[in-house]
Structure 1
Amino acid sequence: MMASRRAVSPGAPLNAPTLLRALLVALSAALVGVVGAMGVLAVRMARRVVTPSGRVPDTTIVDLDTAAQTITLTRTPDTELPGRYGLFTTGTSDYIKLGSVLSEDDATVKRKLLTHVPADAHLAPAAAFSGWYFDEPGQLHLPYTPELIGGPLGPCPAWLFPAGESADTWVIQVHGRGTTRAECLRAVPVFHEAGITCLLVSYRNDGEGPRSRTGTYALGATEWRDADAAVGFARRRGAKRVVLMGWSMGGAIVLQVELNSAHRDLIVGVVLESPVLDWRIVLGYQAKQLKVPAPVTQLAIEALRTEWATSVTGAGAPIPFDRLDVVARAGELRHPVLILHSDDDGFVPSDASYDLVVARPDLVEFEIFEVARHTKLWNYDQDRWNGRILNWLRVHGLAAVAAPAGD
């Protein structure tokens, strides 16, 4: 006789072990999916950090009044700033200078045009707001020569603004991520006033300097060697003292020169504008602004710092975040440092700048701005910015021009 079989209806409950196994399988699949998604996001973030990119539009041209020579832009924390700025555009002009804010509402800002735009001009709506202001060396109306500096990977174009035949103090300026040496033009007049020769340099993978094998940034870990070659160039041209100035990522680069240069005996001071002092703080801040989960950011940093992930991230070598953390290495600094940074930077938070002052109050001075945004301190308050640099140079005996009575 055949044994009877108990029929199981489709709606009958599963027993506990079966249910637990089903739940574990579902949870495992979900976890694999989440981890996989986080890994993809982390790789994308890591690649974005090290990959040079062009200027990304961040505002829209709403109206161009060529009769009144005004331009109306969508309102952003940058476009509403007081002061003088630049605007990268496409169409009949690729760059125009902007003056003061004439009017504003909740959505738009109208500014004066400082570059004449003809009546038949056509500009595409998408535009990028900039703190450059000057975009060509000839706009400074100061003598200069184009130079080529022999870097480890090849020639790096530079602009040399001599302060005079007898000037033996030089400043070497290094621009930030995603820009070129034109970013540094704003600082040339104040150093020229102090009797200091200015050298504005390029470096590997910035679009002007030589390209490395991977064509990616090392966030200062290798770029500093090109800036150090510029110090050697200055020495061969008669420089007896060198001040290093870095803008944003350029700050990370010149600080590596300060810490590692074979020409350290020539260096006498460092000026930092909106500097990157610890990349982990910067990446964490930017990720938070973009609402990227903290675990994804940590995965991206770990991918960038490990050898096995370089083929995935596109980095030519692991990024040595510990070596680039100048706050942790503050004890190795040997020369006076002036930091100019805004608490409202919006891109590179000022936290590490405060930390460096606390770590080395004997060497580091901090001029704190508010309202001004990333690398736009000169634009926001030119007199204060110039005056602070000039006073610092004088106090440390680096200015060829004596301080006026009463200073």
Structure 2
Amino acid sequence: MGTAIGVAGALGAAALASGALTVLVARAVIVPPSRRTEDVRILRVDLDRGLIVLSATPDSLLPGTYSFWFDQDAGEARLGEIVARDERTVTRRVLSVEFGDLDAASSGRFNGWVYLTPDDLGVAYEDVAIATPLGDAPAWLVPADPARASKRWMIGVHGRAVKRSEVLRAVPVFRDAGYDSLIVSYRNDGEAPRSADYRYALGDREWIDVEEAMRYALDHGAEELVLMGWSMGGATVLQALTRSLYREHVIGVVLESPVVDWIATLDFQVTLRRLPAVVRYLVLAMFRSRWGGILTGLAEPLDLDRMDFVRRARELHTPILLLHSDDDGFVPSTASRALAVARPDIVTFVPFEVARHTKLWNYDPERWEGAIRDWLAALDAPRGTHSNLA
């Protein structure tokens, strides 16, 4: 009897532990973070020589140009080429310190934003407000090169836990191609109004704010739209493409490191963190059910099946440019590749390696911009020119 009670107690404790872990994982996905993890140690700074020595991590070892945030985002520097490296450290060029005291910082994090505002691009722009159901959401409107201006607009949608600055890297190539660029914010991103539950809906509700941006563009002279989404912004764009009243005006979609299927992404994260398989099942159940909202804080269940565009591939009819790194490290490229295989007639897939999540431009800006430039040119070509490049 005592053994049976002990076994039952152990099983009960394990169930409670799994349940608690599940809630933590679920909330980590949908609750906007109040602090960002600084996972790179600063070992030495020599601003006179323009050098910084950092601990070796997958991000700090990436070739290219990056933003480096430190002191819990109270400071930001721009780091360039790798000068030296060994098993434990990497030395990089410090291109500039935009604000903050880098000398006094002990850790930081890498970010793909090299441009913080359109001022950094050196082009004219306007601060505008998009009227959403929750209130006005700020956006940047960057007009096209006057010599190439058209009636086409790009609407740029950033990813989870970041802000619209993420999208500015795309503005120059669209501007040169004759597109006005509308760089938007959306609910719960720290700039746009909060929803009542203050939870990410993984694209299942954020698309409503993107739809209002689409309406704004059409009301201000746009006739054709290209939607561009990064990471969770890719999931949001796909929802807008298939659910918006204005979807007929969308002539193309660009997806950078996108979430094409949330279940595949959550599976990847569970495996990466070596979590019990039951956690994956319970997290999905929480997101899909009304009872799960008691624990997660979600006001409404999430329709994860509606966000699986591998399964829904036949419902897509718009040309798509899909850029993804096989070394993404956060959102696996498997679903992107599967979508490209399922719809080679409309999907142009450009694979990267090494670049990691949403850092493709930073790693190889010439290839990244060239892929978008060629794809935009193909929008004017006869149908059938879009093909799978994987």
Say whether the fold is shared (TM-score over 0.5): yes
**Partner amino acid for 1:190?**
V
Match of 1:392 among 375, 379, 383: 375
Match in the other structure for 2:204:
221
**Partner amino acid for 1:98?**
L
Match in the other structure for 1:402:
none
Q: Distance in 1 between matches of 2:22 and 2:2?
A: 30
Contact (CA 8 Å) 2:145, 2:175: kept in 1 or not?
no
Aligned positions of 1:285-304 closer than 5 A: 285-304=268-287
Any runs of at least 4 consecutive aligned residues in structure 1 with deviations exceeding 3 A, and if so which?
A: 116-123
Match of 2:89 among 104, 108, 123: 108
Contact (CA 8 Å) 1:92, 1:122: kept in 2 or not?
no
- The alpha carbon displacement at 1:93 in A equals 6.1
- The alpha carbon displacement at 1:122 in A equals 3.4
SS in 1 for 2:245: coil
Match in the other structure for 1:188:
171
Whether 1:232 aligns to 2:215 is yes
Whether 1:278 aligns to 2:258 is no
Aligned positions of 1:200-219 closer than 5 A: 200-219=183-202
Q: Greater CA deviation, 247-256 or 45-54?
A: 45-54
Match of 1:342 among 325, 334, 342: 325
For the structure 1 residues 259 and 34, does the alpha-carbon distance in structure 2 shift closer, same or farther, using more than 3 Å as the test? same
Aligned positions of 1:368-387 closer than 5 A: 368-387=351-370
Match of 1:152 among 133, 137, 159: 133
Contact (CA 8 Å) 1:91, 1:122: kept in 2 or not?
no
Match in the other structure for 1:311:
294
For the structure 1 residues 95 and 211, does the alpha-carbon distance in structure 2 shift closer, same or farther, using more than 3 Å as the test? same
Contact (CA 8 Å) 2:151, 2:223: kept in 1 or not?
yes
Q: Distance in 2 between matches of 1:389 and 1:92?
A: 31
Give TM-score, length-normalised by structure 1.
0.90
Q: Distance in 2 between matches of 1:37 and 1:69?
A: 49
Match in the other structure for 2:387:
none
Q: Deviations over 1:246-303 (max 9, x none)?
A: 0000000000000101001110000000000111111111122122111112211211
Contact (CA 8 Å) 1:91, 1:123: kept in 2 or not?
no
Whether 1:56 aligns to 2:56 is no
Whether 1:83 aligns to 2:64 is yes
Match in the other structure for 1:124:
105
Aligned positions of 1:64-79 closer than 5 A: 64-79=45-60
Match of 1:169 among 148, 152, 161: 152
- The alpha carbon displacement at 1:154 in A equals 0.8
If you compute each CA radius of gyration, which structure gives the higher value, 1 or 2?
A: 1
For the structure 1 residues 118 and 297, does the alpha-carbon distance in structure 2 shift closer, same or farther, using more than 3 Å as the test? closer
* Structure 2 portions without partners, runs of 5+: 382-390
Q: Deviations over 1:17-67 (max 9, x none)?
A: xxxx43332222211111111001001111111100142212111111011
Match in the other structure for 2:26:
46
Match of 1:136 among 107, 117, 121: 117
- The alpha carbon displacement at 1:119 in A equals 12
Match in the other structure for 1:266:
249
Contact (CA 8 Å) 1:86, 1:97: kept in 2 or not?
yes
Q: Distance in 2 between matches of 1:319 and 1:361?
A: 29
**Partner amino acid for 1:308?**
W
Whether 1:323 aligns to 2:303 is no
SS in 1 for 2:193: coil
SS in 2 for 1:339: strand
Q: Greater CA deviation, 292-301 or 267-276?
A: 292-301
**Partner amino acid for 1:357?**
A
Whether 1:36 aligns to 2:16 is yes
Identical pairs, percent: 46
Q: Distance in 1 between matches of 2:368 and 2:59?
A: 18
Contact (CA 8 Å) 1:55, 1:178: kept in 2 or not?
no
- The alpha carbon displacement at 1:167 in A equals 2.3
Q: Distance in 2 between matches of 1:290 and 1:38?
A: 14
Q: Deviations over 1:99-158 (max 9, x none)?
A: 100001111111101105899853321201111111122000011000100011111100
**Partner amino acid for 1:205?**
N
Q: Distance in 1 between matches of 2:245 and 2:74?
A: 44
* Structure 1 portions without partners, runs of 5+: 1-20, 399-407
**Partner amino acid for 1:52?**
P
SS in 2 for 1:114: strand
**Partner amino acid for 2:42?**
I
Q: Deviations over 1:186-227 (max 9, x none)?
A: 110111111111010000000000101111100000000001
Contact (CA 8 Å) 1:64, 1:72: kept in 2 or not?
yes
Whether 1:178 aligns to 2:158 is no
For the structure 1 residues 119 and 46, does the alpha-carbon distance in structure 2 shift closer, same or farther, using more than 3 Å as the test? closer
**Partner amino acid for 2:286?**
A
Q: Distance in 2 between matches of 1:239 and 1:142?
A: 20
Match in the other structure for 1:16:
none
For the structure 1 residues 91 and 340, does the alpha-carbon distance in structure 2 shift closer, same or farther, using more than 3 Å as the test? closer
Contact (CA 8 Å) 1:69, 1:116: kept in 2 or not?
no
**Partner amino acid for 2:78?**
K
Calculate the aligned-residue CA RMSD, in Å. Answer: 1.7
Contact (CA 8 Å) 1:47, 1:315: kept in 2 or not?
no
Q: Distance in 2 between matches of 1:30 and 1:90?
A: 43
